[in-house]
Amino acid sequence: PIDPMSVTFQPATGGMNPSGPVLSRRMSDLEGLFADTAAWQEARDGADPVVYEVASSPVPEAPGELPQSITTIHPGTVGGEFHMTKGHQHPNPQGEIYFGLSGTGGLLLFDGTTPKWIPMAPGVIGYIPPGWAHRSVNTGDEPYRFLAVYPGDAGHDYGWVLEHGMGWRVRRGAAEPQLVPFRSEPV
Ligand code: PA5
Ligand code: NI
């Protein structure tokens, strides 16, 4: 175990102080995620923008610890599908807590059978039960940012989502985000 500590959240950037590793996911890192492959390739071969960033506190991913991270998903769409995280399953099934900090988004959950959608906004706690794969989506026009707290030995399985999908895709609609069946063709 490490010593007790406080971590300061930096609202302007989504950074943490003190900070552990900071991850940046560009369009080129998100192969196979968006339904519209041609639109994804165009974005990758063009500006290859940063889609999301993940700042971590210094708490290690070790049994018994509770690491924290802050994810910032930048606004945008690919072929009408909102910017989103890769999504993962915890190979050691354990729960996780998200807390909305700024912007508007959602938490898409999938247990392999049934998808669920939790709208997220500042002040909302989203709970991910053990066994539910999870992906975050920015459904607004500004950065969507949230805190995650998870057991240090939960692990991250990204292959599960590539194999099983997430049940739904989240597309920009006229007013509200549209949840469409995952395997449907790009519109
Ligand atoms: O712990 C979590 O679930 C989050 O911190 C995610 O790891 C983060 O939002 C990035 O998503 P992903 O790990 O699916 O790329
Ligand atoms: Ni997780």
Residue pair 106/136 in contact (Cβ under 8 Å)? The answer is yes
> What is the ipTM metric for this complex?
0.99
Q: Look at ligand 1, atom 15, and give the residue with the nearest C-alpha.
A: 86
CA of 71 to the centre of ligand 2 (A): 11
Q: 8-181 belongs to which CATH class?
A: mainly beta
Q: Tell me which of 25, 30, 88 to substitute to probe ligand 1's pocket, judged by most ligand atoms within 8 Å of the beta carbon.
A: 88
Please report the pLDDT score of residue 184 as a whole number: 64
Residue 102 falls in which region: left (phi positive, over 0), alpha (psi -120 to 50) or beta: beta
Please report the pLDDT score of residue 181 as a whole number: 94
Please report the pLDDT score of residue 1 as a whole number: 75
Helix and strand numbers (H, E) in the chain are 2, 15
Say how far residue 123 (Cα) sits from the centre of its chain.
Answer: 17
Tens digit of pLDDT at every position of the chain (187 positions): 789 999 999 999 999 999 999 999 999 999 999 999 999 999 999 999 999 999 999 999 999 999 999 999 999 999 999 999 999 999 999 999 999 999 999 999 999 999 999 999 999 999 999 999 999 999 999 999 999 999 999 999 999 999 999 999 999 999 999 999 997 655 4
Kindly list the protein residues that place their beta carbon closer than 5 angstroms to ligand 2, a single-atom ion.
Answer: 96
182 exposed, middle or buried (CB, 10 Å; 0-12, 13-18, 19+)? middle
Q: Look at ligand 1, atom 11, and give the residue with the nearest C-alpha.
A: 85
Q: Tell me which of 73, 85, 134 to substitute to probe ligand 1's pocket, judged by most ligand atoms within 8 Å of the beta carbon.
A: 85
CA of 93 to the centre of ligand 2 (A): 10
Please report the pLDDT score of residue 183 as a whole number: 79
